[in-house]
Chain A
Amino acid sequence: MATRAVLLPLASEPPPTGAAEVRRTPSIGRPIVAYDAAIGEGARWTFLATQGLTAPYTLRVLGIMASATSGTVVLGAAIEAVTPADALDLDAGESFDAVNSQVSGAVPGTAGYLFLTTITLTNADSIAAGDYVRLEILRDATHASDTAAGDFYLLAAELRDAV
Protein backbone atom coordinates (compact mmCIF):
# COMPACT_ATOMS: atom_id res chain seq x y z
CA MET A 1 0.00 0.00 0.00
CA ALA A 2 1.47 3.31 -1.03
CA THR A 3 0.64 6.69 0.43
CA ARG A 4 -0.74 8.90 -2.32
CA ALA A 5 -1.92 11.94 -0.40
CA VAL A 6 -1.83 13.21 3.16
CA LEU A 7 -4.66 15.54 4.08
CA LEU A 8 -4.13 17.96 6.95
CA PRO A 9 -6.58 20.35 8.60
CA LEU A 10 -4.85 23.59 7.65
CA ALA A 11 -4.89 22.63 3.99
CA SER A 12 -8.62 21.93 3.89
CA GLU A 13 -11.22 23.91 2.01
CA PRO A 14 -14.76 24.55 3.20
CA PRO A 15 -17.61 23.16 1.10
CA PRO A 16 -20.25 25.71 0.08
CA THR A 17 -22.60 24.52 2.82
CA GLY A 18 -22.15 22.52 5.99
CA ALA A 19 -18.49 23.29 6.50
CA ALA A 20 -16.77 21.65 9.40
CA GLU A 21 -14.77 24.14 11.38
CA VAL A 22 -10.98 24.29 11.18
CA ARG A 23 -9.44 25.23 14.49
CA ARG A 24 -7.06 24.00 17.18
CA THR A 25 -7.33 21.91 20.28
CA PRO A 26 -7.47 24.39 23.16
CA SER A 27 -4.48 23.47 25.27
CA ILE A 28 -2.04 21.89 22.83
CA GLY A 29 -2.93 23.71 19.66
CA ARG A 30 -3.08 20.73 17.33
CA PRO A 31 -4.79 21.78 14.09
CA ILE A 32 -8.12 19.97 13.69
CA VAL A 33 -11.22 19.83 11.56
CA ALA A 34 -14.10 19.80 14.05
CA TYR A 35 -17.17 17.87 12.93
CA ASP A 36 -20.31 18.66 14.86
CA ALA A 37 -22.49 15.99 16.43
CA ALA A 38 -25.81 17.55 15.54
CA ILE A 39 -25.58 18.14 11.81
CA GLY A 40 -23.68 16.65 8.90
CA GLU A 41 -20.53 18.57 8.07
CA GLY A 42 -17.66 18.24 5.65
CA ALA A 43 -14.25 19.48 4.64
CA ARG A 44 -12.51 19.20 1.30
CA TRP A 45 -9.00 18.88 -0.02
CA THR A 46 -7.66 19.44 -3.54
CA PHE A 47 -4.73 17.61 -5.11
CA LEU A 48 -3.56 16.03 -8.34
CA ALA A 49 -3.77 12.28 -8.77
CA THR A 50 -0.22 10.98 -8.78
CA GLN A 51 1.37 8.89 -11.51
CA GLY A 52 1.07 5.16 -10.96
CA LEU A 53 -2.13 5.42 -8.96
CA THR A 54 -3.68 1.97 -8.78
CA ALA A 55 -7.09 0.87 -7.49
CA PRO A 56 -8.43 -0.08 -4.99
CA TYR A 57 -8.15 2.99 -2.79
CA THR A 58 -8.56 3.38 0.91
CA LEU A 59 -8.73 6.44 3.09
CA ARG A 60 -7.33 6.26 6.61
CA VAL A 61 -8.92 8.89 8.83
CA LEU A 62 -7.11 9.65 12.09
CA GLY A 63 -9.06 11.52 14.71
CA ILE A 64 -10.09 11.97 18.29
CA MET A 65 -13.33 12.64 20.11
CA ALA A 66 -13.70 15.92 21.96
CA SER A 67 -15.67 14.40 24.81
CA ALA A 68 -17.33 11.13 23.83
CA THR A 69 -16.18 7.94 25.49
CA SER A 70 -18.61 5.56 23.83
CA GLY A 71 -20.58 5.11 20.64
CA THR A 72 -19.54 5.32 17.02
CA VAL A 73 -19.27 7.98 14.35
CA VAL A 74 -20.30 7.66 10.73
CA LEU A 75 -17.73 9.06 8.34
CA GLY A 76 -17.93 9.40 4.60
CA ALA A 77 -15.64 10.27 1.74
CA ALA A 78 -16.57 11.51 -1.71
CA ILE A 79 -14.28 12.01 -4.67
CA GLU A 80 -14.49 14.32 -7.64
CA ALA A 81 -11.91 13.43 -10.31
CA VAL A 82 -11.76 15.69 -13.35
CA THR A 83 -9.70 14.85 -16.39
CA PRO A 84 -8.63 17.74 -18.63
CA ALA A 85 -11.24 18.22 -21.37
CA ASP A 86 -14.01 16.60 -19.37
CA ALA A 87 -17.35 18.15 -20.22
CA LEU A 88 -17.69 19.81 -16.84
CA ASP A 89 -17.88 23.54 -16.26
CA LEU A 90 -15.81 23.84 -13.11
CA ASP A 91 -16.89 27.42 -12.70
CA ALA A 92 -20.52 26.44 -12.39
CA GLY A 93 -20.76 22.84 -11.29
CA GLU A 94 -19.22 20.01 -9.39
CA SER A 95 -19.24 16.29 -9.95
CA PHE A 96 -18.63 14.27 -6.82
CA ASP A 97 -19.14 10.54 -6.98
CA ALA A 98 -21.37 8.84 -4.43
CA VAL A 99 -20.29 9.01 -0.81
CA ASN A 100 -18.38 6.05 0.57
CA SER A 101 -19.67 5.60 4.08
CA GLN A 102 -18.11 3.86 7.04
CA VAL A 103 -19.23 3.38 10.61
CA SER A 104 -16.22 3.68 12.87
CA GLY A 105 -15.32 1.19 15.48
CA ALA A 106 -16.32 2.08 19.01
CA VAL A 107 -14.63 5.32 19.92
CA PRO A 108 -11.93 5.04 22.60
CA GLY A 109 -13.02 4.91 26.22
CA THR A 110 -11.04 8.07 26.89
CA ALA A 111 -11.71 11.27 24.97
CA GLY A 112 -8.66 12.51 23.12
CA TYR A 113 -7.25 9.08 22.32
CA LEU A 114 -6.36 8.62 18.66
CA PHE A 115 -8.43 6.17 16.65
CA LEU A 116 -8.46 5.09 13.06
CA THR A 117 -11.34 4.70 10.66
CA THR A 118 -10.58 3.16 7.28
CA ILE A 119 -12.92 3.95 4.42
CA THR A 120 -12.84 1.85 1.28
CA LEU A 121 -13.24 4.17 -1.68
CA THR A 122 -15.35 2.00 -3.93
CA ASN A 123 -16.87 5.08 -5.50
CA ALA A 124 -13.73 6.82 -6.73
CA ASP A 125 -15.12 8.70 -9.74
CA SER A 126 -12.84 6.75 -12.10
CA ILE A 127 -9.84 8.64 -10.82
CA ALA A 128 -6.80 8.48 -13.10
CA ALA A 129 -3.24 9.73 -12.87
CA GLY A 130 -3.03 13.44 -13.56
CA ASP A 131 -6.65 14.15 -12.69
CA TYR A 132 -7.63 17.25 -10.80
CA VAL A 133 -9.09 15.77 -7.65
CA ARG A 134 -11.14 16.96 -4.73
CA LEU A 135 -11.88 14.72 -1.81
CA GLU A 136 -14.48 15.54 0.80
CA ILE A 137 -14.53 13.92 4.21
CA LEU A 138 -17.88 14.11 5.95
CA ARG A 139 -19.43 13.16 9.21
CA ASP A 140 -23.00 11.92 8.85
CA ALA A 141 -24.01 13.02 12.32
CA THR A 142 -27.70 12.39 11.77
CA HIS A 143 -27.14 8.77 10.74
CA ALA A 144 -28.67 6.28 13.15
CA SER A 145 -25.29 4.68 13.70
CA ASP A 146 -23.61 7.97 14.65
CA THR A 147 -24.13 7.58 18.37
CA ALA A 148 -21.04 9.27 19.81
CA ALA A 149 -21.74 12.58 21.48
CA GLY A 150 -19.84 15.77 20.84
CA ASP A 151 -17.40 16.74 18.17
CA PHE A 152 -15.18 14.47 16.13
CA TYR A 153 -11.80 16.08 15.52
CA LEU A 154 -10.01 15.03 12.35
CA LEU A 155 -6.23 15.33 12.75
CA ALA A 156 -5.06 13.87 9.45
CA ALA A 157 -6.12 11.53 6.68
CA GLU A 158 -4.10 9.42 4.32
CA LEU A 159 -5.08 8.22 0.86
CA ARG A 160 -3.57 4.87 -0.04
CA ASP A 161 -3.71 2.81 -3.19
CA ALA A 162 -2.85 -0.78 -4.03
CA VAL A 163 0.76 -0.30 -5.01
Chain B
Amino acid sequence: MATRFVFGPTSTDLVTSLPAYEGEVQRRPVIVYDEVGFRQSVWTAIAPSGLLFPLTVVLHGIMASATSGAVALFAQAEAITPGDALNLLDTQSFGAAGSAIQNVPATAGVEFAATIDLGVADSMVDGDLIRFTISRNSSNASDTASGAYYLLAAEFRDSA
Protein backbone atom coordinates (compact mmCIF):
# COMPACT_ATOMS: atom_id res chain seq x y z
CA MET B 1 0.00 0.00 0.00
CA ALA B 2 1.41 3.35 -1.02
CA THR B 3 0.14 6.74 0.06
CA ARG B 4 -0.72 8.77 -3.04
CA PHE B 5 -2.46 11.79 -1.59
CA VAL B 6 -3.01 13.28 1.82
CA PHE B 7 -5.68 15.94 1.93
CA GLY B 8 -6.30 18.19 4.87
CA PRO B 9 -9.08 20.58 5.78
CA THR B 10 -7.32 23.68 4.50
CA SER B 11 -6.87 22.45 0.94
CA THR B 12 -10.45 21.80 -0.08
CA ASP B 13 -12.11 23.35 -3.10
CA LEU B 14 -14.79 24.82 -0.82
CA VAL B 15 -17.77 23.70 -2.86
CA THR B 16 -20.81 25.91 -2.84
CA SER B 17 -23.40 23.15 -3.09
CA LEU B 18 -24.17 21.26 0.14
CA PRO B 19 -20.78 22.11 1.60
CA ALA B 20 -19.20 20.77 4.69
CA TYR B 21 -17.43 23.72 6.19
CA GLU B 22 -14.06 24.51 7.66
CA GLY B 23 -13.71 24.73 11.40
CA GLU B 24 -11.15 24.55 14.14
CA VAL B 25 -10.97 22.39 17.24
CA GLN B 26 -8.13 22.92 19.69
CA ARG B 27 -6.20 24.69 16.91
CA ARG B 28 -6.71 21.68 14.66
CA PRO B 29 -8.25 22.51 11.30
CA VAL B 30 -11.28 20.32 10.67
CA ILE B 31 -14.01 19.95 8.13
CA VAL B 32 -17.35 19.96 9.85
CA TYR B 33 -19.94 17.51 8.55
CA ASP B 34 -22.98 18.46 10.55
CA GLU B 35 -26.11 16.48 11.12
CA VAL B 36 -28.50 18.19 8.75
CA GLY B 37 -28.34 15.82 5.80
CA PHE B 38 -25.84 15.53 2.97
CA ARG B 39 -22.57 17.39 3.36
CA GLN B 40 -19.61 17.28 0.99
CA SER B 41 -16.05 18.46 0.46
CA VAL B 42 -13.98 18.29 -2.72
CA TRP B 43 -10.26 18.17 -3.45
CA THR B 44 -8.51 18.54 -6.82
CA ALA B 45 -5.27 16.86 -7.88
CA ILE B 46 -3.49 15.26 -10.82
CA ALA B 47 -3.22 11.49 -11.01
CA PRO B 48 0.38 10.37 -10.53
CA SER B 49 2.13 7.74 -12.57
CA GLY B 50 2.20 4.15 -11.41
CA LEU B 51 -1.19 4.01 -9.73
CA LEU B 52 -2.26 0.47 -8.93
CA PHE B 53 -5.87 -0.22 -8.13
CA PRO B 54 -7.88 -0.63 -6.03
CA LEU B 55 -7.70 2.75 -4.41
CA THR B 56 -8.75 3.12 -0.81
CA VAL B 57 -9.43 6.18 1.29
CA VAL B 58 -8.69 6.27 4.98
CA LEU B 59 -10.58 9.03 6.75
CA HIS B 60 -9.31 10.25 10.09
CA GLY B 61 -11.91 12.01 12.17
CA ILE B 62 -13.51 12.62 15.50
CA MET B 63 -17.06 13.12 16.70
CA ALA B 64 -17.99 16.42 18.27
CA SER B 65 -20.26 14.91 20.88
CA ALA B 66 -21.51 11.47 19.89
CA THR B 67 -20.47 8.50 21.98
CA SER B 68 -22.48 5.84 20.19
CA GLY B 69 -23.91 5.03 16.82
CA ALA B 70 -22.30 5.17 13.40
CA VAL B 71 -21.59 7.67 10.65
CA ALA B 72 -22.31 7.05 6.97
CA LEU B 73 -19.35 8.29 4.95
CA PHE B 74 -18.91 8.28 1.19
CA ALA B 75 -16.15 8.97 -1.33
CA GLN B 76 -16.16 9.46 -5.08
CA ALA B 77 -13.56 10.15 -7.74
CA GLU B 78 -13.77 12.09 -10.98
CA ALA B 79 -10.99 11.47 -13.51
CA ILE B 80 -10.80 13.48 -16.70
CA THR B 81 -8.30 12.82 -19.46
CA PRO B 82 -7.45 15.68 -21.83
CA GLY B 83 -9.65 15.22 -24.89
CA ASP B 84 -12.53 13.61 -23.02
CA ALA B 85 -15.90 14.66 -24.42
CA LEU B 86 -16.99 16.35 -21.22
CA ASN B 87 -17.85 20.01 -20.84
CA LEU B 88 -16.28 20.96 -17.55
CA LEU B 89 -18.03 24.31 -17.48
CA ASP B 90 -21.36 22.79 -16.60
CA THR B 91 -20.83 19.07 -16.09
CA GLN B 92 -19.43 16.77 -13.45
CA SER B 93 -18.56 13.16 -13.99
CA PHE B 94 -17.94 11.39 -10.72
CA GLY B 95 -17.65 7.62 -10.67
CA ALA B 96 -19.49 5.27 -8.38
CA ALA B 97 -19.40 6.14 -4.69
CA GLY B 98 -17.69 3.95 -2.14
CA SER B 99 -19.01 3.98 1.39
CA ALA B 100 -18.24 3.13 4.98
CA ILE B 101 -20.61 2.81 7.89
CA GLN B 102 -18.28 3.35 10.80
CA ASN B 103 -19.07 2.97 14.50
CA VAL B 104 -17.88 5.91 16.54
CA PRO B 105 -15.74 5.68 19.72
CA ALA B 106 -17.42 5.76 23.13
CA THR B 107 -15.62 9.01 23.94
CA ALA B 108 -16.18 12.11 21.85
CA GLY B 109 -12.98 13.56 20.43
CA VAL B 110 -11.17 10.24 20.16
CA GLU B 111 -9.80 9.78 16.67
CA PHE B 112 -11.15 6.94 14.59
CA ALA B 113 -10.54 5.80 11.05
CA ALA B 114 -12.98 4.81 8.34
CA THR B 115 -11.78 3.03 5.23
CA ILE B 116 -13.59 3.33 1.92
CA ASP B 117 -12.89 1.21 -1.14
CA LEU B 118 -12.84 3.36 -4.26
CA GLY B 119 -12.11 0.51 -6.66
CA VAL B 120 -10.71 1.84 -9.93
CA ALA B 121 -11.64 5.38 -8.97
CA ASP B 122 -13.36 6.41 -12.20
CA SER B 123 -10.61 4.57 -14.11
CA MET B 124 -8.10 7.32 -13.51
CA VAL B 125 -4.83 7.18 -15.40
CA ASP B 126 -1.51 8.95 -15.13
CA GLY B 127 -1.88 12.66 -15.74
CA ASP B 128 -5.65 12.88 -15.40
CA LEU B 129 -7.26 15.87 -13.79
CA ILE B 130 -8.93 14.32 -10.78
CA ARG B 131 -11.24 15.34 -7.99
CA PHE B 132 -12.28 13.49 -4.88
CA THR B 133 -15.37 14.05 -2.80
CA ILE B 134 -15.83 13.02 0.79
CA SER B 135 -19.36 13.16 2.09
CA ARG B 136 -21.45 12.37 5.09
CA ASN B 137 -25.13 11.65 4.70
CA SER B 138 -26.70 11.99 8.10
CA SER B 139 -30.07 11.20 6.53
CA ASN B 140 -28.85 7.71 5.71
CA ALA B 141 -30.61 5.15 7.88
CA SER B 142 -27.26 3.81 9.04
CA ASP B 143 -26.03 7.23 10.18
CA THR B 144 -27.12 7.00 13.80
CA ALA B 145 -24.46 9.07 15.55
CA SER B 146 -25.64 12.46 16.76
CA GLY B 147 -23.85 15.75 16.22
CA ALA B 148 -21.09 16.72 13.86
CA TYR B 149 -18.35 14.57 12.40
CA TYR B 150 -15.01 16.37 12.13
CA LEU B 151 -12.70 15.25 9.36
CA LEU B 152 -9.05 15.76 10.27
CA ALA B 153 -7.32 14.29 7.22
CA ALA B 154 -7.88 11.91 4.35
CA GLU B 155 -5.28 9.54 2.97
CA PHE B 156 -5.67 7.98 -0.46
CA ARG B 157 -3.75 4.74 -0.92
CA ASP B 158 -3.24 2.51 -3.90
CA SER B 159 -2.04 -1.07 -4.10
CA ALA B 160 1.58 -0.36 -5.03
Chain A residues in the interface with B (C-beta under 8 A): 1-3, 6, 8, 10-11, 24-31, 60, 62, 64, 66, 108, 110-116, 155-156, 158
Contact = CB atoms under 8 A, between A and B. Distances in A.
Interface string B40-75: 000011101100000000000000000000000000
Given A114-B84, A156-B129, A62 B89 contact: no
A112 B84 contact: no
A112 B45 contact: no
B141 interface: no
Given A3-B48, A114-B82, A29 B17 contact: yes
Q: How large is the interface on B (under 10, 10 to 19, 20 to 34, 35 or more residues)?
A: 20 to 34
Interface of B: 11, 13-17, 44-46, 48-49, 80-92, 127, 129
Given A30-B13, A64-B89, A6 B82 contact: no
Contact of B85 (A1, A8, A113): A113
A62 B46 contact: yes
Given A28-B92, A60-B127, A111 B87 contact: yes
A114 to B, nearest CB: 5
B15 to A, nearest CB: 6
Contacts of B48: 3
Contact of A6 (B45, B49, B80): B45
A3 B88 contact: no
B46 A156 contact: yes
A2 B86 CA distance: 27
A114 B13 contact: no
Given A31-B44, A62-B129, A113 B49 contact: no
B138 to A, nearest CB: 22
A155 B13 contact: no
Given A110-B87, A113-B87, 8 more contacts: A3-B48, A3-B49, A25-B88, A28-B91, A110-B85, A111-B87, A112-B89, A113-B85
Given A29-B16, A60-B127, A115 B83 contact: yes
Nearest to A60: B127
